[in-house]
Amino acid sequence: MAVNPTAENIIEIRDVHLWYGEFEALKGVNLTVKQGEVIVLLGPSGSGKSTFIRAINRLEEHGRGDITVKGIPLTHDVRDIAEIRREVGMVFQQFNLFPHLTIMENITLAPINVRKWSREKAEEIGMKWLTRVGIPEQANKYPGQLSGGQQQRVAIARTLTMEPEVLLFDEPTSALDPEMVKEVLEVMSDLANEGYTILAVTHEMGFARGVADRIIFMDYGRILETGPSDEFFENPKHDRLKLFLSQILHH
Amino acid sequence: MTAITQSLSQFKGSIGQHFRWDYFLQDNVTSSIWLTIWVALLTMVTAVYTIGQVASSPVPTLIIIAIWVAILGLAIAGGLFQKHTKVGDWLGSNLVGSISNALLTLLLMLWLASAFRSVLSYAVINATFDPALTAPEVRTKDGATWGWLAATNSNPEVIGGARDLLLYGRLDRMFVPRVKAAGLIILALALLTVAANKTGVWQSKKPVSQGLTYAWLLSPLILFILLNGVTYNPDKPLINFSTLIMGTIGVLLLYGFSWWQKIVKYSLANVIVAAVAFPIFYVAWRFLAQSQLFPVINVDTWGGLMLTLIIAASVILLSFPVGLILAMGRRSEVRGIPDWITWPLVIIFTVWGFKTSTPGLLADARNTIETLIAFWPILIVAIGYVIQQGFKGNIVAAFSTFFIETIRGVPLITLLFMAIIMAPFFFKSGTVIPNPYAVIIGYTVFSAAYMAELIRGGLQAIPQGQYEAADALGLNTLQKMRFVIFPQALRILIPALVGSFIGNFKSSSLVSIVGLFDLVGIAGSVVGNAQWLGLKRELYYGMALFYFLVSFTMSSYSRRLEAKLSTGQ
Amino acid sequence: MEQPNQPDISAAPTQYVPFWRDGRVLGVFGQIIFIIVMIVIANTLGSNFASNKDKLGEIHCADGSVDEGYRCAYDFMQANAGFDISETVLPYKVEDSYWQAFYQGFLNTLKVGLLGVILTTIIGTLAGVARLSSNWLISQIALWYVEIMRNIPLLIILFMLYFGVILAGPDLKETMQPWGLPIFFNNRGLNFPWPQFTSSAGIFIAFLVLGAIQYQVVAIALDRREIRTGKSSNKARWGIFSFIVIAMIGWFAASAMSDTEGLLVTKASRIREVDDIERIILKRADVGLMSLVNDLPKEQLAEAALTVCVLRDSPSEVNFISQLRNRGIPYSITRFDRPDQAVAAYGEGKCEVFAASKSVLAAERVTLENPTSHLLVPISETPVVWSVPAFEGLNIAGGSKLSPEFTALLVGLVLFYGGTLAELVRAGIQSVSKGQSEAAQALGLSESQRLTLVVLPQSLKVIIPPLIGTYLSLIKDTSLGLALGFSDMYRISFVTINQTGQALQVVILMMLVYLAISVVFSVLLNWYNAKYVIMVER
C-alpha cells in the first residue's frame, strides 16, 4: 500500500475549475497522483467529488485548468480524449451494464471495437478477469439475472479487460445491499494490493482507513484537507472535516 | 311445528350473524339523498324497459330475466349463507354487488340482447347472399344484402361483382396476376419469418436469418417491378457506361465504409461481390426493361385494397428511417455555433436585407400588411435569437424541431393535398409524378414526424448511465449507438411502433379525400354506380368490419409482444 | 487549505489543439455542413420552382395589372366568392369575398373543434371511469367501445354515421317529434329551441356584468367579515343570491325600458296591447280558452288566426312571434324583404298587424292613405327571446338547426376521440398508486370524494401531456368534414381552389392557419400543464 516514491506521476490536475452554467462545481482543485496510489475522496453530498473524478475521463468538461493523464493533456482534442478513455476505466454506482447483452458480450464489446482485439483474445482475457472477480460461471447469463453485487463485479471485470492504467470508482457500493458490499470491496482491495492506481469516491470508511494511501476531503468544490489515511482519521485539522468525521463515524 | 320454527329462527340467527339489513340498506340506498334518487330512477327505468321488452319479445326476455335471477341467487347464497363459490363470488362482486349494480346489470343484459338480436336479424337472418339481385330489388330488402361480395360476373345489372373493384380498383385486369404474385410473395415471406422465429430456427441458424433478411431487403425492388413495371425507353442505349462506372465505385465505397466500421468482414470474396454487384444489377435491369416482361402499369389506376396496402406498407417502411434521422437531429448534442459567429452574421444579413429589399417593398406597398412585410429582415434577428437562446446555436436541432413541429401542426389531408399540388413544381419541368407517389411522399413526411417523436421518447427512456458507460469504455458515437443504444431503444419502442403502423394503416383511408381510389374511395364510387345503388350501408359496414379485424389482430399481437418483452427485461 | 502534495508540474501541458481534432471546431463544422446542404437543397427546389412558375398561370393584381413577382399572389381572394355556404356562424352573403368565405370556414372549424373538445372530454372521462367500474358488464361495454373506436378509421365512422344513421332518418314529411316537444328531427337536420338576443339585450347584459361585480363584492365583504368575526358565511349562497336579484332587476328593467319595437294596427282593430289580441282571437273563434282555439279544425283555425306581416330575419319577427307562441295565439305570417312591401300589404289589409321597429313603423306609416287611422302600439321586448321551431307550411322555421353534416362530424369526432381519451383517463387513474386510494378510504372519504379530491388531481399529471396531442388531432381532423360536405375551412379552401385555380396560395394559407391554431392551442395547454399540473418534486 505504500507507494514507491520513485513512481511517476500518472495524473496531474492543476487549478481545475468546472462550471454548470452559472454554478461553479469545482473551484480550483489541484492533485497529483503517483502510479500505484490508492486515493479515496470523502465529503458531503454536493461537494464535487463525483464531478471531480468524472472530469478525469471527460464525462464532465472542465472550464479552466489542466488535467493530464499519463502525459496526455485532456483538452478538446478528440483524439486525446479517446486515448485517455482507453487508459482510464470507470465503475459506476448504478453498474450500467448493458442489459441486452450477455455478461461475456458486455465484457468483450469495448476491447473488440476500441482496442481492435480479435474475439478470441477478448474472450480469453475477459474470462480471466471474470474468474478473478469470482464469477466465471455467469458468463452467458444476462445482467438482469445477476444480483447487484455480481453485477458490480462484472462491471469491474468489464473495466479491467480494457487493461486501463487508472481505475475510477464512483460510489461503487452505494447501490448495493449490505451483504454484497463486502464482496465488491474485497475485489477492490485486491486490485489495490496489485498496484493499480485507484481513485475512489466512497462512503466505506473501513476501505478508506485500511486500503487507501491518501484521503482527500472535499467540500463546496474545494479540496479542504488531504493526508495519509491514518493521520487523516486521527488528526483532522480542518474544522469542516472534524464535523464531517464526527457525523459519520459515530453510528 | 316447533321444529320448523326452531330451524327458522336458527336460520335467521345464522343469517343475522353475518348480515345486517340496516347496513345493507344504508350502503345501497340511503347513505345519501343522491343515491336514493339514483336507485329510485334506476328502478323505474329498468321496470319500464323490462316490461317493454317482455311485451315485444317475451321468450328471450324471460330467459334473460331467469339468468339474472340465477346470478342473484348465486350471489345471495354466497353472501347471505356463507356458501362461497368461486363463480358465485365473482358474479357477486362484478355484476350484482349492490342494488344499483344489480339493476344496471339487468338493464344492460336486456339491452345487449335486444341489440344483438337486431344486428343478427339484419346481418344474418334476413340477409341475402344472392349476387343476382338488381339494384331496385336490393332496396326492397329489410336485411343486409351481401351479394356484392361475389366475384366478377358478366351481367352489369346485378349487384354481384363489386369485389374485384374493391380489391384492385380500376387496374387493367390483365395485370391482376402480377398483383396476386406480389401479394403471395409478401405473404410467403411473412409466414416464413414468423415460422422461423417461433421455431427458433431464426436465432440458431445464421444462413436462415441472413437469407430471410436479404429477401426482405430485396422485396421492395421485386414489388416495384411487379406493381410498377420497368420503363423501357428504346431511344436510350442499352448500357450507359458512366452510370455503370459511377455505380460500381459507389458500391465499393459503401463496402469500404462498412468494413472500416466493422459492419462487414474483409475478405476477397466480399470485395469481388461488391465490385460486380452493381454492374450485374444494372445490366440485368436493362435487359429486363428491354424484354418488356413487366411493362409499366399506369400508377393512377391503382385502387381498392391493393392501393391501401401499397400506401400503408410504403409509408411504414419509409417513415422509419426518415423519422430516425429527424429524431437524431432533434436530440443531437453537436456543439452549436457560438455566439460570436452567429450574431455578426445576423447583423450583416439584417442590414443587407434592409438596405436592398426594404425600400423597394415599401414603395410598392398598397396596404398595411404589405408595409409590414417590407420589414421582413427583422425575422432574421428573431430566428437568430431563437437559435441561440433556445438551441444554444445548434442549427441541426433547431431545424429538426421546427420541421417536426410544423408537420405535426397541420392535418394529414392538407399535407397530401399539398404534395399533389406541389409535386409538379419542385421537380424539373416535365417530370410527371403520379398521384400515388406524391401521396406516398407526403404521407411519409407526415408519418416520419410522428415517428421521430416516438423514437425520441425511446432514446430518452434509456438511462443516462448507459451512454456514460459506453463513453467511459471508449466507444465512439457510431459504436455507442449501434451496440448499446439502438438495441435497447428498439426493444422499448416496438409497442409504440406497431401502434404507429396500425395508425398508418387506418389513416391510409384519408387518401380517398384527395382523390385516390383506395378501399374507401373506390367504395364511394361504387355506390355512385347505378348498378350498386342502395348498397351503401352494407359496403360501409363491410369495410368497417375489415379494418376492425385487421387492426384488432395487429394490436392484439402488439400487446402480446409488449407483455413478452417486459417479462424478458 | 493546505495542499501538502504540491503538484510537481515539470511538463507544462500544451493548450494548442490542432483544429481538425478539436471537439468544438468539429461541432461547428458539422453545423456549417448542414447549413450548406440545406442551402443547396433550397436552391435546387427554388430554381425548379422558378422554372415551373409559368404553370402557376398569370397572377393578376387587384387593379387588373399582371404581376411580375409574387406581390399580388393573394389579390384574387378579394373577388366575389360567388358560392353559398350552407351553414355559417356569422351572416354571410353570396357576394362576399373569398377572404370572408374563408373566414366563415375558419369559424366553422373552430365551432366544431371547440364543441368537439368539450364533448369529447365529457364522453371520454365517463368512458374511462366506466372502464374501471366494478360492474363487469359496464367495464366490458366500455372496453368494446374503446376497441371499436381504436380499430376503425375515423373516416369510415363518419360515413357510417352520416349515411347509416342520419341521412337514413325520416323525410321532411315524416318528421319525428319526440314526446310532443318542439324538437323536430328529419334527414335535413335537427331543429330545437334556442335563445336569441334581442335589441334590449344590451341593458340586460350590462346588469349581468353588474351582477358579476356584485358577486365579487359580496364575496370580498363576506370574506372580511369571516376574518373579523370568525363566523363562516355562505359566500357562494349569498353571492349567487345577489347575482340572481340583480339579474332579475336587469331583466325587468331591460324589458320595461325597451322601446324600440312596435306594432302597426288600425285604430278600428282596438288592439292597444298584446292582451287585446288574445281577447280578439278568442272572440273570433267563439271559445273561452286559447287552448280550445288550437283544437279547432283547420279552416276555423285559419280564420281565427292573426295575420302578421314582418320583415325577414328582423328582431321584431322573433320577439313578436315568440310572444304569440308563448300565449298560444295562432298566427299566419308573411315575411317581406323590404319595409315598403310590408306596409303595402298591410295597407291592402292582407295582414292585421305589421310588426317592426318603431322607427320603421313611424316612417312607413306616413306612406299609408290615412295615417291617423293607424296606431303605433309599443310592445315590450324581453332581452332574451326563446326561439321555438314550428311548422310553417312545409318548412320548419325558428329555433336553431343542426345540419346532418355538422351533427355527423361532431358526433363522429366525439365518439372516436372519446375512445382515445377513455384510454388516457384509465391509464391516468391507474397510475395513481393504490396507496393513495387506501389512505383516502382510511381517512373516511366517500367514494366520490376519493375520486374527485385524491385520485383525479393526481391522475391529471399523466393524462394531460398526451391529452394535448389528442385535442390537437381532433381539431385537425375537423378537416374530414370535407368528405361529408360540411363547410369547414378545408372544404371552403377546396371550393375556392376549384373556382379560382390558385391552388398553391390557398393551400399555403390554409396550412398556415391550421398551424396557427395548433400552436395557440398547444401553447395554452402546455402553459396550463406547466402551471397547474406539474408538481415540482424535490
Per residue in C110-144, pLDDT (tens digit) is: 999 999 999 999 999 999 989 988 888 899 999 99
B434 vs B28: CA distance, rounded Å: 67
What per-residue confidence (pLDDT) applies to A2? 56
What per-residue confidence (pLDDT) applies to B260? 73
What per-residue confidence (pLDDT) applies to C5? 42
- Which range has highest mean pLDDT (A139-153, C87-101, C288-302)? A139-153
A 9-38 → C contacts, CB under 8 A:
9, 12-14, 30-32
pLDDT at C12 over 50: no
pLDDT tens for C380-438 read: 777 777 777 777 666 777 677 888 889 889 999 999 999 999 998 988 888 888 888 89
Domain ranges for chain C: 19-51, 98-158+402-533, 201-256, 261-387
- Which range has highest mean pLDDT (B31-35, B169-173, C89-93, C324-328)? B169-173
**Helix ranges (DSSP H) in B392-529:** 395-408, 412-426, 435-461, 464-472, 477-479, 486-507, 519-528
- C480 vs B contacts (CB less than 8 Å): 413, 510, 513
Chain C nearest CA to B191, separation (Å):
23
C22 and A77 in contact by Cβ < 8 A?
A: yes
Nearest to C413 by CA among C191, C187, C162, C170: C162
In this structure, of B458-472, B475-489, C230-244, the range with the lowest mean pLDDT score is C230-244
What per-residue confidence (pLDDT) applies to C1? 41
- What is the SS3 assignment for C98? helix
pLDDT tens for B257-270 read: 877 766 677 778 87
Decide: C81 and C379 in contact? Cβ < 8 Å.
Answer: no
pLDDT at A251 over 70: no
C21 and A224 in contact by Cβ < 8 A?
A: no
What per-residue confidence (pLDDT) applies to C11? 40
What per-residue confidence (pLDDT) applies to B7? 64
Beta bridge partners of A68: A12, A73
B102 vs B29: CA distance, rounded Å: 13
**B364 compared with B466, residue with greater pLDDT:** B466
Decide: A149 and A72 in contact? Cβ < 8 Å.
Answer: no
In this prediction, residue C39 has a pLDDT band, given cuts at 50, 70 and 90, of very high
For residue A39, what is its C-alpha cell? 486515493
B465 and A96 in contact by Cβ < 8 A?
A: yes
A110 and B475 in contact by Cβ < 8 A?
A: yes
In this prediction, residue A91 has a pLDDT band, given cuts at 50, 70 and 90, of very high
* Mean local confidence (pLDDT), B90-110: 83
- Which range has highest mean pLDDT (B279-293, C29-43, C207-221, C377-391)? C29-43
- Provide the whole-model pTM: 0.81
> Phi and psi of B302, rounded to 5°?
-55, 135
CB neighbour burial string for C264-286, b if at least 16 within 10 angstroms, e if fewer: bbbeebebeebeebbebbbeebe
Chain B nearest CA to C171, separation (Å):
16
What per-residue confidence (pLDDT) applies to A158? 95
CATH of domain C261-387: 3.40.190.10
Please state the ipTM of this predicted complex: 0.91
pLDDT at C338 over 70: yes
pLDDT at C538 over 50: no
> Phi and psi of C263, rounded to 5°?
-125, 145
Neighbours of chain A (3+ CB pairs under 8 A): B, C
Decide: B283 and B277 in contact? Cβ < 8 Å.
Answer: no
Decide: B261 and B478 in contact? Cβ < 8 Å.
Answer: yes
pLDDT tens for A203-248 read: 888 888 889 999 999 999 999 888 888 888 888 888 888 888 888 7
What per-residue confidence (pLDDT) applies to C3? 42
What per-residue confidence (pLDDT) applies to B54? 85
pLDDT at B154 over 70: no
Superfamily of domain C98-158+402-533: MetI-like (1.10.3720.10)
What per-residue confidence (pLDDT) applies to A250? 65
- A12 vs C contacts (CB less than 8 Å): 7, 9, 13
pLDDT at B390 over 90: no
What per-residue confidence (pLDDT) applies to B15? 58
Neighbours of chain B (3+ CB pairs under 8 A): A, C
C251 vs C267: CA distance, rounded Å: 31
- Give the number of beta-carbon pairs within 8 Å between A and C: 56
Please name the member of A57, A92, A144 whose beta carbon is closest to the beta carbon of B569.
A144
pLDDT at C261 over 90: no
A95 vs B465: CA distance, rounded Å: 8
pLDDT tens for B24-78 read: 777 777 777 878 888 888 889 888 888 888 888 888 888 888 888 888 887 777 7
What per-residue confidence (pLDDT) applies to C40? 93
- A96 vs B contacts (CB less than 8 Å): 463, 465-466, 468-469
Decide: C355 and C308 in contact? Cβ < 8 Å.
Answer: yes
* Mean local confidence (pLDDT), A12-29: 91
- Alpha-carbon distances of C503 from B413, B418, C53, C64, C270, rounded to whole Å: 14, 9, 13, 20, 64
Chain position carrying cell 298560444: C328
A75 and C17 in contact by Cβ < 8 A?
A: yes
What per-residue confidence (pLDDT) applies to C6? 42
What per-residue confidence (pLDDT) applies to C4? 43
In this prediction, residue B18 has a pLDDT band, given cuts at 50, 70 and 90, of low
- Which range has highest mean pLDDT (A122-126, B128-132, C48-52, C272-276)? A122-126
B540 and C503 in contact by Cβ < 8 A?
A: no
Strands (E), C59-154: 59-60, 66-67
Nearest to B542 by CA among B118, B112, B129: B129
In this prediction, residue C29 has a pLDDT band, given cuts at 50, 70 and 90, of confident
In this prediction, residue B471 has a pLDDT band, given cuts at 50, 70 and 90, of very high
pLDDT at C500 over 80: yes
- Alpha-carbon distances of C437 from C434, C455, C481, rounded to whole Å: 5, 7, 43
In this structure, of B6-10, B129-133, B245-249, C340-344, the range with the lowest mean pLDDT score is B6-10
Decide: C23 and A76 in contact? Cβ < 8 Å.
Answer: yes
- Give the number of beta-carbon pairs within 8 Å between A and B: 61
Chain A nearest CA to C31, separation (Å):
17
pLDDT at B8 over 70: no
Chain A nearest CA to B214, separation (Å):
24
For residue A142, what is its C-alpha cell? 444476462
pLDDT at C180 over 70: no
What per-residue confidence (pLDDT) applies to C209? 87
Contacts of A187 (CB under 8 A, 6+ apart): A132, A133, A134, A153, A156
Chain position carrying cell 385516390: B516
Chain A nearest CA to B393, separation (Å):
15
In this prediction, residue C214 has a pLDDT band, given cuts at 50, 70 and 90, of confident
* Mean local confidence (pLDDT), C345-357: 83
- A76 vs C contacts (CB less than 8 Å): 17, 22-25
Chain B nearest CA to C410, separation (Å):
17
What per-residue confidence (pLDDT) applies to C340? 82
Beta bridge partners of C309: C334, C354
Architecture of A9-248 per CATH? 3-Layer(aba) Sandwich (3.40)
What per-residue confidence (pLDDT) applies to C7? 41
**C64 compared with A35, residue with greater pLDDT:** A35
Element (H, E) at B3: helix B2-18
pLDDT at B159 over 60: yes
- A94 vs B contacts (CB less than 8 Å): 463, 465
Average pLDDT, chain C: 81
In this structure, of A121-135, C171-185, C262-276, the range with the lowest mean pLDDT score is C171-185
If 0-12 CB within 10 Å is exposed, 13-18 middle and 19+ buried, where does residue B151 land? exposed
C153 and B555 in contact by Cβ < 8 A?
A: no
Decide: B521 and B303 in contact? Cβ < 8 Å.
Answer: yes
pLDDT tens for A151-203 read: 999 999 999 999 998 999 999 999 898 888 988 999 999 999 998 999 999 98
What per-residue confidence (pLDDT) applies to C345? 84
pLDDT tens for B412-433 read: 999 999 898 888 888 877 778 8
Chain A nearest CA to C121, separation (Å):
41
pLDDT tens for B213-236 read: 888 888 888 888 888 888 777 777
Domain ranges for chain B: 22-125, 135-167, 173-291, 335-393
Please report how the helices C23-51 and A78-87 are oriented relative to each other, as an axis angle in degrees rounded to 10.
130
C479 and B429 in contact by Cβ < 8 A?
A: no
B412 vs C477: CA distance, rounded Å: 8
* Mean local confidence (pLDDT), C63-86: 78
What per-residue confidence (pLDDT) applies to B2? 67
What per-residue confidence (pLDDT) applies to B4? 67
Q: What is the DSSP string of B378-409?
A: HHHHHHHHIIIIIHTT-HHHHHHHHHHHHHHT
A45 vs C398: CA distance, rounded Å: 75
Please name the member of A97, A110, A144 whose beta carbon is closest to the beta carbon of B474.
A110
A32 and C7 in contact by Cβ < 8 A?
A: yes
